[in-house]
Chain A
Amino acid sequence: GAVVSQHPSWVICKSGTSVKIECRSLDFQATTMFWYRQFPKQSLMLMATSNEGSKATYEQGVEKDKFLINHASLTLSTLTVTSAHPEDSSFYICSVSGGSTGELFFGEGSRLTVL
């Protein structure tokens, strides 16, 4: 399956700063990547669909100005959490749809802690 890498794995930042998380598809050209958010003991919530060369599609209730997504190439999508606040602390996971059945391949996740 596709190999997906995220960076950084952990990030701690002060409230009000912006944080960028990178998602790379290492062996697969991904026109579409997905960003999920996972709260403790809860499921994955789809935040947005990242489309190479065009605007991301955000799920209802997700602020597009808060969570900026850029998918400038077939191997890289970035999620920027702007003016982060403690309630943005979460585990963010990206994924690529690379299989014949539509299965998703996930990155290792990035844990954001906002102080």
Chain B
Amino acid sequence: GEDVEQSLFLSVREGDSSVINCTYTDSSSTYLYWYKQEPGAGLQLLTYIFSNMDMKQDQRLTVLLNKKDKHLSLRIADTQTGDSAIYFCAVNSNSGYALNFGKGTSLLVTP
């Protein structure tokens, strides 16, 4: 199946930018997603990018896609303590509409 890899932990100071990286193996993925999970909660879709794009900006969020290297990143500008959560990278799978998820990156924002 699809392999989606992420670094497990990132710590930044409030006000700095955070960059969360993800690599995947299936080059046929058409959409790639970033989800946020707060403790004890379900997943919230943050943003997505279509595979023929290399960048998408949505307020404080910037998604970069390097399709050649199969590398996806999420940049959060002016990171706030409320951004502390687990961030999951997800891509289309080859089993219908289900998505394949990375293991998630725990982002800790310190004052």
Contact A93–B104 (Cβ < 8 Å):
no
A71 in contact (CB, < 8 A): no
Segment of A13-21, A38-46, A79-87 engaged in the interface with chain B: A38-46
- Distance, CA A104 to CA B48, complexed state (A): 11
- Distance, CA A111 to CA B42, complexed state (A): 11
When C-beta atoms are compared, the residue in chain A nearest to B4 turns out to be A43
24 contacts between A and B (CB under 8 A): A4-B42, A32-B97, A34-B98, A41-B103, A42-B103, A43-B88, A43-B103, A46-B95, A46-B98, A59-B95, A97-B97, A99-B45, A101-B48, A101-B50, A102-B92, A102-B97, A103-B31, A103-B33, A104-B90, A104-B97, A104-B98, A106-B44, A108-B41, A108-B42
User: Interface size of B by Cβ–Cβ distance < 8 Å?
Assistant: 28
User: Interface size of A by Cβ–Cβ distance < 8 Å?
Assistant: 26
- Distance, CA A54 to CA B42, complexed state (A): 26
B43 in contact (CB, < 8 A): yes
